[in-house]
């Protein structure tokens, strides 16, 4: 039931926005009582925090598996991180959009906790870029921090427009975007 | 006064979100009456639509000036469009974030009107990419539509994190991002 409440809420938050969705809307859509909601979550804000933490923790775990794979080049690690974000759109697109759009409705200290994890995800990519520079795999004059924002921009912006069931498959889009941003950084 | 109301509203919409900001909040912040607000705008939604239309119309006009400049290569046109978006962050960052985040609070037919103009902005970029391919300036196997989303992703995502008064100037960021996404598409 906790998962059903979460999934229903994500759908409503995406359609109407967090502020415009009441706990009543959520329980009505599931045909359960408010008591059921409060059995699992103390408030709408706590539910939103739960969505945020699960989302970013899951990304961090899967990112770590990529980072720990010593058989991959730095370029391959970046491609696999882009692939992860693009492939997630099909199953987790709504969750991702709620994650990006609704963070400001969390309490201040919760925003801090989520931002710290988001920053970790970004800094892990920056480390890969920096290591690729040090290893001579990437160009020597790159700014790893700005290149990282560029990579995240290409991947995260696709949550706003990309339709995974359209004519371009997630694998094709990953190839196009990896080629777009990585051709510019790989050393000649 | 109309401009003051608009600017104050943009600031409040960015801080609290459109739904959470009342007309009372706006007039209180400006120390004027609700009558003053209704002299210029029939509703909060109409104000939001005014913000959206002015924002995208202004971008389309300036984009057209770049497109019409026959002395520029296709690569230079793309760089100038990226430069326009990055340089706007300093003066129009808040306006841009309200534009990206709050469109769903417009009425359905207004969303349609704004989306049509947003699509035009995107398709204009796609045309430049396509013309660059036809002219042999860009690689022949590119998908102009996907490359365009990549370029827009890099530029638009920067509205979420870039601080124009920080150590990287808008000119520097434009150079970094143009180099990142254009190295991958220019023909060898």
Burial of residue A76 (CB within 10 Å: 0-12, 13-18, 19+) is middle
Nearest CA in chain A to B98: A101
Rounded Cα gap, residues B105 and B102, in angstroms = 6
The answer to whether B119 contacts chain A (CB < 8 Å) is no
> What DSSP assignment string belongs to A25-68?
HHHHHHT--HHHHHHH-SSHHHHHHHHHHHHHHHHHHHHHHHHH
CA of B162: which chain A residue's CA is closest? A149
Residue A104: per-residue pLDDT: 86
For B64-96, what is each residue's pLDDT tens digit? 999 999 999 999 999 999 999 999 998 888 999
d(CA B155, CA A156): 12
Is there a contact between A153 and B149 if contact means CB atoms under 8 Å apart? no
Interface of B with A in 1-40 (CB under 8 A): 17, 19-20
Q: Tokens in use for A7? A: 């999934």
Predicted pLDDT at A148: 96
Categorize the per-residue pLDDT at B53 as very low, low, confident or very high, splitting at 50, 70 and 90: very high
Please determine, for residue B188, whether its predicted confidence score (pLDDT) is greater than 80: no
B185 touches chain A (CB under 8 A): yes
Give the DSSP letter string of A123-164: HHHHHHHHHHHHTTSB-TT--HHHHHHHHHHHHHHGGGT--T
| Per-residue model confidence (pLDDT) at position B169 | 94
Percent with pLDDT over 70 in chain B: 100
pLDDT band at B106 (very low <50, low <70, confident <90, very high): very high
How many degrees, rounded to 5, is the angle at CA B95 between CA B93 and CA B96?
A: 65
Domain with CATH 1.10.10.60 in chain A: 1-41
Q: What is the pLDDT of residue A20?
A: 87
What's the pLDDT at A187? 73
- CA A110/CA A4 separation, integer angstroms: 23
pLDDT tier for residue A188 given thresholds of 50, 70 and 90: confident
Interatomic CA distance for residues A42 and A62, integer angstroms: 29
Question: Each residue of B22-34: pLDDT tens digit?
Answer: 999 999 999 999 9
Query: Which residue of B18, B100, B157 to mutate against A (max A Cβ within 10 Å)?
Result: B157
DSSP symbol at B166 = S
Candidates A152, A157, A184; nearest CB to B181 = A184
pLDDT at A185 over 90: no
Query: Is the pLDDT reported for residue B174 higher than 90?
Result: yes
Give, in degrees to the nearest 5, the angle at Cα B120 between B114 and B121.
95
Residue with tokens 């190295």: B183
Q: Which chain B residues contact residue A158 at CB under 8 A?
A: 149, 153
A16 pLDDT tier (thresholds 50, 70, 90): confident
Q: Is the pLDDT of residue A39 over 80?
A: yes
Give me chain B's average pLDDT, please: 93
B contact test, residue of A157, A179, A187 with most B CBs within 10 A? A157
What integer best gives the mean pLDDT of chain A?
93
ipTM of the complex: 0.89
Q: Is some CB atom of chain B closer than 8 A to the CB atom of A154?
A: yes
Task: In chain B, list all ranges with CATH 1.10.357.10.
Answer: 44-182
* pTM of this structure: 0.91
Q: What is the pLDDT of residue B90?
A: 86
The predicted structure's pLDDT at residue B37: 95
Assigned token pair, B139: 């690689």
- pLDDT reading at B17 higher than 90: no
Q: Assess A133–B contact: CB distance below 8 Å, yes or no.
A: no
Q: How far apart are CA A7 and CA B9, in angstroms?
A: 33
Mean pLDDT in residue range B168-187: 90
Out of 1.10.357.10, 3.10.20.30, 3.40.350.10, 3.40.190.10, which CATH number does the structure's domain B44-182 have?
A: 1.10.357.10
Please tell me the CATH code under which domain B1-41 is placed.
Answer: 1.10.10.60
Nearest by CB to residue B176, choosing from A143, A152, A156, is A143
Question: What pLDDT digit, counting tens, does each position of A40-69 carry?
Answer: 999 999 999 999 999 999 999 999 999 999
Q: How does pLDDT run across A104-155, given as a tens digit for each residue?
A: 889 999 999 999 999 999 999 999 999 999 999 999 989 999 999 999 999 9
| pLDDT higher than threshold 90 for residue A8 | yes
């Amino acid at each position: 039931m906790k998962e059903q409440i979460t999934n229903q809420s994500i759908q409503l938050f995406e359609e109407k926005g967090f502020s415009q969705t009441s706990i009543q809307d959520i329980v009505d859509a599931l045909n359960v009582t408010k008591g059921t909601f409060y059995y699992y979550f103390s408030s709408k804000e706590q539910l939103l925090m739960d969505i945020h933490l699960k989302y970013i923790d899951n990304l961090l775990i899967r990112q770590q598996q990529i980072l720990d794979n010593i058989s991959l080049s730095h370029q391959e690690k970046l491609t696999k991180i882009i692939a992860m974000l693009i492939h997630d759109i099909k199953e987790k697109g709504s969750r991702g959009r709620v994650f990006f759009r609704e963070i400001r409705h969390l309490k201040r200290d919760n925003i801090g906790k989520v931002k710290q994890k988001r920053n970790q995800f970004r800094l892990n990519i920056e480390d890969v870029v920096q290591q690729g520079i040090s290893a001579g795999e990437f160009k020597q004059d790159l700014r790893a921090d700005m290149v990282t924002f560029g990579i995240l921009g290409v991947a995260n912006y696709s949550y706003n427009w990309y339709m995974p069931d359209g004519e371009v498959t997630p694998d094709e889009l990953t190839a196009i975007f990896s080629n777009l941003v990585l051709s510019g950084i790989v050393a000649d």
